[in-house]
Structure 1
Amino acid sequence: MFQFEGPSRKITHHPPFCEMIEEVPISELDPRQIKQLESADELTQRNPTYAREIYGAILTQRPGCLELRKKLRALQINSLQTNTKGLSGLLHKVTSAPFMFKSDDKNPEGTLAKAEGLIDKSPSNVVAHQMLAGAASALGMSGTAVFAYETIQKLEPENLKNLKSLGSAYIEAGNTEMAIATGNSIKKINPNDGDAEEIMKKASVAMAMNKGKWEESEDFRTQLKDEDEAQALEQASKNVNDAKSLEELIRQTYEKVTQEPANLNHYRQLSDYYQRYGDLQNAIAWIQEARKQEAGQGDVSLEEKERQLTAEYFDQSIETWEKALAENPDDQAAQASLEQTRVQKVEYQRTQLESLVQRYPNEYGYRYELGMLLFEKESYDDALPHFQLAQRNAKVRLDAVLHLGRCYSRKGFHDMAIEQFESLKNEIQVMDDRKKEAIYELGCCHESMGNQEKAIEEYKLVYSADISFRDVSDKINAFYESNS
């Protein structure tokens, strides 16, 4: 297996301890807490402020009680609707987000509590709900994460980024039907959204797998050999990230590999645990071992996993050298190693993608990746055919058209580039970043051809939507100054 040299001191990555929180209904709370909640329920109409305080206090003690969190949220939103402060309330929602919130990835429980406190002050605060969703996911609270994204959906129904997060959260929570419905909602807003198709595809696969594995069983434990194996599977299925638990899972899975060396799932699981542990070299090595097995020699998913892990390993190595260089800018050896690693990464990606394109000519996503790599190296003639074929992949089609136009533009074929950018401009209905890129490039082509008036009209469209986009503000200002 390949090796990279690192800085003189060894950097070891250990994932921070993060204890998962189990989601429970109100009925499983302490009887005294249940009694307090029943009393608070009776006060929701007469004294909602006091009821909110009781709900919030108990939720702080039992953050995994999703049922209680939903009751609290309903009371908070109802209070917001009955105590609207007009424009000042809206301004609070808009202006507080950029300055107040910062998630702590090492302390998701703290972030969970902080987000809930911010929501109590302003239930319409989208950023606080995003914080809640992220912290909940880190703590294994899939239902709470879904609830947070659903709340954002009610506040901002056409927020595409949130809808995509919601779709993924539904898949994580096992609600494949809602994931597919969310994918359809995204496509209603943006019919050509490749991420929506990917969400629906993953949900369909998950649905089929679950049906095949579990539809004939009343209890999944009945399909396992014994109680010990059942407990091991339950532990493995959770988002275990602390070092001690991962070491135990690695030991158990290694024993399974020795007992069933032909079972590829054991190799995959072992690789995954090593990846979580921060040991990418062993993560890659076990995928390579899986590919040596008879059943793994033609497994495309294993090949893709090795490629992904190797790219991650390159990135980790590059980051290590960058940190070493930041500490000692005059270290010429570190600078040389950084440059060498970057070259090795690009060369590895190129050879892998060329092999994939040759072996799987109809997998057009690989062609797009190779085209992007060649485009970044300014090999426009080589990139062109890959972008042309990549348009057959719905997920990357629009980006392929954009970069096809850019290849023509960089070669000086401005009239051909204009055709590509015009088609994107007309097809994309929402003024998103991709459409702004296409219109800006369209303006550049007209400008290069000496059509200043057409160029400025395109720049104005971008300027009207986003004054900070690239140098469009400078172009507009220069135009009006020259005509004043």
Structure 2
Amino acid sequence: MPEVLISALSFALQKQAESARSAFDRGRAEQAADLCAKILDEQPACLSVRKLERAALLKVAAMRQSGLSKLVRAVSTAPFLLGGSMKLKDEPRAAFASAERLLRRDPHNTAALGLMGQAAMALNWPETAVFAYEAASDDEPDRADLWIALGGAYLIAGRAKDAVQAADEALRLHPGNADALALQRTASVSVTMAQGKWEQGGDFRGKLAEPPKG
């Protein structure tokens, strides 16, 4: 199932999306989140609705100001994350649903965002993976591994320039990181090709095999 636009939803779901946006704009974040969840139950690949749901969930979380510490939240959700991770290979949709449930409880759960990103990649929803990893990187900007994962999602989504920037950020945090260097190199090649400046001679695999200059 590819990612879908709101315009591709059924008329009934489009009206629900309008209602969710209206509720959000009127400050009824919890109602907006509930409406979005119902739409996503039927059309989980609708990224515009997912973005609206996250915005609403973040507002709800801010209003509740839960006293639970980050450590306590991590421990309480660990079994669900483990279960979701085990489903990634054979049941990516089930893994994605596990991440959804966790994020509706705690939208700042970076591990759940990472699980969502991995499941989205397995489901061939690259922009949804970008969304998940961007959110995770926003919450924990000092984690190089999240920037590397985000860069990989950018590449699959055809956003090579953004992938280069993600690799640069990972290398700023962890200079010499092999995965970040590989990402930077691959993304840079993709940018060069997209700009039509690829030199004649040699094939693509050969270019990738060349050592970086400088």
- TM-score surpassing 0.5? yes
In 1, Cα distance between equivalents of 2:59 and 2:13 = 23
Give me the TM-score of the superposition, normalised by structure 2.
Answer: 0.85
Deviation at 1:161, TM superposition (A): 1.1
1:29 aligns with 2:9: yes
- Structure 1 contact 97–127 (Cα < 8 Å) conserved: no
| % same residue | 31
Q: Deviations over 1:268-290 (max 9, x none)?
A: xxxxxxxxxxxxxxxxxxxxxxx
Match for 2:36 among 40, 48, 55?
55
Show structure 1 runs of 4+ deviating over 3 A. 298-302
Q: Could you say what secondary structure the match of 1:51 adopts? A: helix
Give the match for residue 120 of structure 1. Answer: 104
- Structure 2 contact 6–46 (Cα < 8 Å) conserved: yes
Paired residue type of 1:41: R
In 2, Cα distance between equivalents of 1:107 and 1:191 = 36
Any residues of structure 2 matched to 1:150-161 within 5 Å, and which?
150-161=134-145
Q: Assess, with a 3 A threshold, how the Cα gap between structure 1 residues 300 and 199 changes in structure 2: closer, same or farther.
A: closer
> Greater relative contact order (Cα 8 A, min sep 6): structure 1 or 2?
2
In 1, Cα distance between equivalents of 2:157 and 2:203 = 28
In 2, Cα distance between equivalents of 1:208 and 1:199 = 14
Q: Assess, with a 3 A threshold, how the Cα gap between structure 1 residues 300 and 124 changes in structure 2: closer, same or farther.
A: closer
Q: Assess, with a 3 A threshold, how the Cα gap between structure 1 residues 75 and 92 changes in structure 2: closer, same or farther.
A: farther
Unpaired segments of 5 or more residues in structure 2?
A: none
Match for 1:182 among 151, 161, 166?
166
In 2, Cα distance between equivalents of 1:107 and 1:301 = 32
Q: Assess, with a 3 A threshold, how the Cα gap between structure 1 residues 206 and 83 changes in structure 2: closer, same or farther.
A: same
In 1, Cα distance between equivalents of 2:42 and 2:98 = 14
1:72 aligns with 2:50: no
Give the match for residue 64 of structure 2. Answer: 83
1:139 aligns with 2:119: no
Structure showing greater radius of gyration is 1
- Structure 1 contact 145–169 (Cα < 8 Å) conserved: yes
* Alignment RMSD: 2.6
In 1, Cα distance between equivalents of 2:39 and 2:14 = 9
Deviation at 1:56, TM superposition (A): 0.4
In 2, Cα distance between equivalents of 1:30 and 1:98 = 36
Paired residue type of 1:188: R
Q: Assess, with a 3 A threshold, how the Cα gap between structure 1 residues 43 and 300 changes in structure 2: closer, same or farther.
A: closer
- Structure 1 contact 93–124 (Cα < 8 Å) conserved: no
In 2, Cα distance between equivalents of 1:169 and 1:29 = 25
In 2, Cα distance between equivalents of 1:50 and 1:97 = 24
Q: Deviations over 1:347-406 (max 9, x none)?
A: xxxxxxxxxxxxxxx96xxxxxxxxxxxxxxxxxxxxxxxxxxxxx89xxxxxxxxxxxx
Deviation at 1:176, TM superposition (A): 0.9
- Structure 2 contact 144–169 (Cα < 8 Å) conserved: no
Match for 2:95 among 93, 111, 133?
111
Q: Assess, with a 3 A threshold, how the Cα gap between structure 1 residues 30 and 201 changes in structure 2: closer, same or farther.
A: same
Q: Deviations over 1:394-431 (max 9, x none)?
A: 9xxxxxxxxxxxxxxxxxxxxxxxxxxxxxxxxxxxxx
Paired residue type of 1:93: R
Q: Assess, with a 3 A threshold, how the Cα gap between structure 1 residues 185 and 28 changes in structure 2: closer, same or farther.
A: same
Unpaired segments of 5 or more residues in structure 1?
A: 1-20, 214-297, 306-361, 364-392, 395-484
Match for 2:73 among 93, 105, 116?
93
1:210 aligns with 2:194: yes
- Structure 2 contact 21–52 (Cα < 8 Å) conserved: no
- Structure 1 contact 60–113 (Cα < 8 Å) conserved: no
Deviation at 1:179, TM superposition (A): 0.8
Give the match for residue 42 of structure 1. Answer: 22
Aligned length: 203
Paired residue type of 1:151: A
- Structure 1 contact 24–64 (Cα < 8 Å) conserved: yes
Give me the TM-score of the superposition, normalised by structure 1.
Answer: 0.39
Paired residue type of 1:125: N
- Structure 1 contact 22–140 (Cα < 8 Å) conserved: yes
